[in-house]
Amino acid sequence: MNIAFIPVRGGSKSIPLKNIKPLNGKPLVYWTASAAEKSNSIDKVIIATDSEEIKKTVLSFGFSKLEVYERSSENAQDTSSTESVMLEYIEKSDLKNDDLFFLIQATSPLLKSEYIDGMYDVYKNSDFDSMFTGVREKQFHWIENNNKIEPVNYDYKNRPRRQDFAGLIAENGACYINSVENIKNEKCRISGKIGVYELPSYTSYEIDEPEDWIIIEALLQQYG
């Protein structure tokens, strides 16, 4: 079985109740829930929340695959990790070790069902233990080290042309695939031999701050 797991808390400080705040006319969590619902690879969509208001909102979508899991308040704090609620759900569910767990984050509404299906196709035809979605960045990165600043991914004395520059892969936080067994053993969303499924650069945006809302609304209008 392939499970899409979308954790959403009621207590967001930066944007109150952001997971059900309207984004282009739909609650934020609708966009990723809809992508998972439409995906041919997903058998069940689990929305894990501590909020009765969010629960009522997501059930109103009428999605046939969707179920609500009432996460514990202990794992719905500002300091709670995503892994903590993943492990809580796995412990209380009847999932098998070889079931696949697709972690999807509501703050990445630019995720599409075809991306989920494409990622799964790569996963099942590879020897990867887990995968994440990412975007290729072609910026030149530097790091501060012992009061010195040093280049990370290029030689500034031999600056490459953009078309010749491989760049870096950045997680965009949209989707992760791993087996239930690996998550239980490693207590991490990715583990073992890790693969990346590259998405278009515009999917690098996630909603964390109010200004992200404006950018992603425009991108949704542009890219649907």
What average pLDDT does this structure show over 19-43? 96
Token output for 8: 């959403």
What DSSP assignment string belongs to 119-173? HHHHHHTS--SEEEEEEEE-SPPEEEETTEEEESSS-GGGPPPGGG---EEEEEE
Least confident range of 5-14, 156-165, 178-187 = 5-14
Instruction: For residue 82, give the CATH number of its domain.
Output: 3.90.550.10
On average, the pLDDT of the chain sits at 93
Residue 156 domain-assigned?
no
* Within-domain flag for 216: yes
Residue for token pair 């069940």: 44
Structure tokens at 86: 């993943």
CA-based nearest residue to 107, from 205, 218, 211, 183: 205
Determine the 3-state secondary structure of 112 from DSSP.
Answer: coil
Tens-digit pLDDT profile for residues 157-173: 999 998 888 899 999 99
Query: Would you state the structure tokens that stand for residue 193, as one six-digit string?
Result: 């031999």
Domain range for 87 is: 2-133+170-223
What confidence score (pLDDT) does residue 13 get?
Answer: 67
Residue 203, in any domain of the structure: yes
Domain count, the chain: 1
Domain assignment present for residue 210? The answer is: yes
Structure tokens at 177: 């695939």
Q: Is residue 78 helix, strand or coil?
A: coil
Residues annotated as catalytic are 159
pLDDT value for 76 = 75
Digit-coded pLDDT (tens) for 116-156: 999 999 999 999 999 999 999 999 999 998 889 999 999 99
pLDDT recorded at residue 2? 98
Is 86 part of a structural domain of the chain?
A: yes
CB 122 within 8 A of CB 41: no
Query: Helical H runs in 125-194?
Result: 180-186
Q: Does residue 69 lie in a domain region?
A: yes
Which amino acid does the sequence have at 92? K
- Rounded distance between C-alpha atoms, residue 187 and residue 139, angstroms: 32
> Is 180 inside any structural domain?
yes
Give the residue, 161 or 197, on which the prediction is more confident.
197
Structural domain contains residue 159:
no
